[in-house]
């Protein structure tokens, strides 16, 4: 909520949250059939905690913050009362919350920040909690967690899990409860679902549900057929209380349990600082995708058992342990709407508007739907429940439509541009749908104007997207030529908020300095499809002047084979470029814009003076950070030396100029045996050529 709720609002929201959380606890713990993701459940419990911290007098005895799991009254399995309650864990979602926990631990123990506290850290497997009771070394009972106090008797089922010893070595305490997680590997889960599908049986949603459903069976013979595993993380009741041993530690205890034949987490590690804890958390996170079992975080525990005893418990969790959850890599949410954005080249890009959801540590509200074909493939429509994915800085995308079979009409991709109502069509063999309005389309106009003044085009200082949008809205900018008529509006600009004499004069001076622009930059700046900065230079190196280019393009479009041959003879120029040029000059409104612009500017004849140099005729690639020149300046130098500046390293590359921070291109060049020099070496070549 953007504003702090009133006490009445908080009380009502806490009641709603209690009902929601109770419902989802029952679905997850009692029925193994959750309707929401762990991440969505965490969001509910987190909100409940925030409200209770703000209004502690509203905390009810049956608050979700005081409950563990779910009661098992309706379960067909026999009930077991735990001698030592099976607790839950408090969660942290970032470094700051981990630091807050360690600070609380220090305050409770009265330990200063200079004294290290040993903390164990291990991955938190996504399985079903289980307590195994051994008496005189023999397994006598296995129980699920249930509501923490009363669980289900699954002793017969546990006897079919190979990781669970039926007997312990001699010398163990007379009574000892080993606690851990029953789980299913990803590979075994996939094989089980394949068998279920072949048999026409219900498929399991994920490995955790499969493990829980397989373990909580009244008929243990069903469990016997399922590939379940177990690993230990702690203990419960014991006839010899390890907490009373001087110097006893969590780490030593679980290693002792391991020596009895129980698997432990392979990532169990002792740490002594927040930095070390976070480093281990991040390392486990890096390895997480390759693990054959699901984990959802890392569990930290104070290592010394006497410290654990002093710290004690809150309502449902120990103060001495914390679960540091991983950001969700995937999440479920609702696709509320599909909007169509029109790009600079006229491409219609569908964007999904989502109910906000946290994925990969970021709140996501929009998702790319790529194109018309992707929408058809996913079958998405507004109102659908979707699974989205985000990894690192990758743009979020929809990976699954959970409600595609719901009886609703398919989404109709527009055949008209939403900005100018021009026809929107896909060229033969292409998936992208584009507006045919060109420079009359408002969406394309503003973005094309931004492109026109950008660094790689005319490079006019002082023009940002906000300025262009403002001037466009005022009717001052509709085409590139209007930029060069802004000097007539000096007083109008000065009257706008935020503009001063100096800023206006700087802008107009920057515009005037481009009255004789580089012809290749001007051509690139027009945003003609398929005409990138390299293609623009290649064309102008051959035809030299823009009016000549138009004549040749018109002839080629009209079927003049000589004109078409003249263009295709240029290295890198193919049918798509020729067609794009012909289409551009065929549209009357584009011709009007073209002629209007050339009435304001006079590009000089395009000539690339080449010098005799060691790199003439060779292909050069620049990589890393160039410290004495920009990448564009470096490419221009290469062209002046008669070399071709390429963007990628291949077998055709002759020379790589590598600045600081060079990465994959440098490695590839070394692998291919390509000559590599630094920026100083390149400067020597340029200087020698004069």
Residues with active-site annotation? 124
DSSP 487: G
Which of 13, 270, 321 lies closest to 116, judged by CA?
270
Largest CA distance in the chain: 99
| Whole-angstrom distance, CA of residue 274 vs CA of residue 186 | 31
| Whole-angstrom distance, CA of residue 429 vs CA of residue 172 | 73
Neighbouring C-beta atoms of residue 263, cutoff 10 Å: 14
Phi and psi based region of residue 553 (left: phi greater than 0; alpha: psi -120 to 50; beta: remaining): alpha
| Whole-angstrom distance, CA of residue 111 vs CA of residue 304 | 13
Q: Do 454 and 525 contact (CB within 8 A), yes or no?
A: yes
Strands 675-677 and 655-658, how do they pair? parallel
* Rg from Cα positions in the chain: 34
| Whole-angstrom distance, CA of residue 614 vs CA of residue 617 | 9
Neighbouring C-beta atoms of residue 669, cutoff 10 Å: 21
Which of 74, 52, 73 lies closest to 61, judged by CA?
52
First to last CA, the chain: 66
Residue with tokens 């991440």: 39
| Whole-angstrom distance, CA of residue 330 vs CA of residue 394 | 13
Q: How far is CA 153 from the centre of its chain?
A: 42
Helices (H), 408-560: 442-453, 465-473, 480-483, 490-494, 501-512, 519-525, 533-543, 546-557
Q: How far is CA 396 from the centre of its chain?
A: 6
Q: Do 358 and 328 contact (CB within 8 A), yes or no?
A: yes
| Whole-angstrom distance, CA of residue 365 vs CA of residue 363 | 7
Residue with tokens 């900065």: 533
């Amino acid at each position: 909520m953007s504003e702090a709720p009133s006490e009445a609002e908080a009380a009502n929201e806490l009641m709603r949250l209690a009902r929601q959380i109770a419902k989802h606890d029952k679905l997850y713990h009692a029925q193994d059939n959750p309707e929401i993701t762990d991440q969505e459940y965490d969001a509910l419990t987190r909100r409940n905690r925030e409200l209770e911290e703000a209004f502690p007098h509203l905390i009810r005895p049956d608050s979700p913050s005081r409950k563990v799991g779910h009661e098992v009254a309706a379960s067909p399995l026999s009930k077991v009362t735990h001698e030592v309650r099976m607790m839950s864990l408090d969660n942290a979602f970032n470094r700051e919350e981990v630091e807050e926990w360690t600070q609380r631990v220090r305050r409770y123990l009265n330990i200063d920040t200079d004294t290290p506290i040993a903390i164990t850290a291990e991955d938190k497997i996504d399985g079903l909690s289980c307590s195994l009771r051994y008496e005189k070394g023999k397994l006598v009972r296995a129980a699920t967690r249930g509501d923490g106090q009363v669980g289900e008797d699954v002793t017969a089922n546990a006897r079919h899990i190979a990781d669970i010893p039926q007997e312990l070595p001699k010398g163990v305490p007379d009574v000892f409860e080993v606690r851990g997680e029953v789980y299913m590997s990803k590979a075994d889960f996939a094989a089980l679902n394949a068998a279920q599908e072949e048999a026409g049986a219900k498929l399991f949603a994920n490995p955790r549900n499969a493990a829980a459903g397989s373990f909580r069976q009244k008929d243990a013979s069903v469990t016997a057929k399922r590939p379940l595993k177990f690993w230990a993380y702690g203990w419960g009741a014991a006839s010899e209380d390890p907490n009373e041993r001087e110097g006893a530690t969590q780490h030593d205890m679980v290693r002792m349990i391991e020596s009895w034949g129980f698997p432990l987490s392979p990532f169990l590690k002792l740490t002594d600082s927040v930095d070390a804890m976070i480093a281990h958390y991040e390392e486990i996170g890096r390895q997480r995708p390759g693990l054959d079992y699901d984990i959802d975080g890392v569990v930290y525990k104070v290592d010394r058992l006497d410290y654990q005893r002093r710290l004690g418990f809150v309502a449902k969790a120990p103060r001495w342990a914390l679960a540091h959850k991983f950001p969700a890599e995937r999440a479920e949410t609702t696709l509320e709407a599909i909007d169509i954005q029109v790009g600079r080249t006229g491409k219609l890009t569908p964007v999904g508007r989502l109910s906000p959801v946290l994925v990969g540590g970021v709140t996501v509200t929009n998702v790319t739907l790529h194109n018309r074909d992707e929408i058809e493939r996913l079958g998405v429509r507004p109102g659908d429940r979707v699974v989205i994915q985000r990894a690192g800085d990758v743009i979020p995308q929809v990976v699954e439509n959970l409600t595609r079979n719901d009886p609703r009409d398919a989404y109709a991709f527009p055949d008209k541009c939403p900005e100018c109502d021009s026809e929107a069509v896909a060229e033969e063999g292409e998936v992208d749908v584009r507006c045919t309005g060109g420079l009359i389309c408002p969406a394309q106009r503003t973005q094309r104007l931004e492109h026109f003044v950008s660094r790689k085009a005319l490079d006019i200082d002082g023009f940002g997207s906000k300025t262009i949008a403002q001037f466009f809205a005022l009717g001052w900018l509709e085409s590139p030529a209007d930029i060069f008529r802004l000097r007539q509006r000096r007083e109008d600009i000065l009257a706008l908020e935020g503009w001063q004499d100096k800023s206006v004069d700087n802008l107009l001076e920057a515009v005037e300095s481009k009255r004789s622009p580089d012809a290749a930059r001007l051509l690139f700046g027009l945003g003609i499809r398929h005409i990138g900065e390299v293609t623009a230079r290649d064309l102008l190196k051959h035809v030299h002047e823009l009016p000549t280019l138009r004549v040749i393009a018109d002839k080629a479009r009209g079927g003049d084979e000589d004109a078409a041959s003249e263009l295709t003879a240029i290295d890198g120029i193919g049918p798509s470029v020729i067609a794009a040029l012909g289409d551009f000059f065929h549209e009357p409104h584009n011709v009007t814009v073209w002629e209007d612009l050339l009435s304001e500017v006079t590009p000089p004849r395009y000539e690339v003076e080449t010098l005799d140099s060691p790199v003439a005729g060779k292909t050069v690639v620049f990589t890393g950070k160039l410290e004495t020149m920009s990448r564009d300046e470096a490419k221009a130098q290469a062209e002046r030396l008669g070399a071709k500046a390429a963007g990628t390293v291949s077998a055709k590359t002759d020379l790589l100029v590598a600045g600081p921070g060079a990465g994959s291109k440098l490695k590839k060049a070394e692998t291919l045996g390509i000559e590599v020099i630094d920026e100083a070496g390149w400067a020597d070549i340029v200087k020698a050529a004069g």
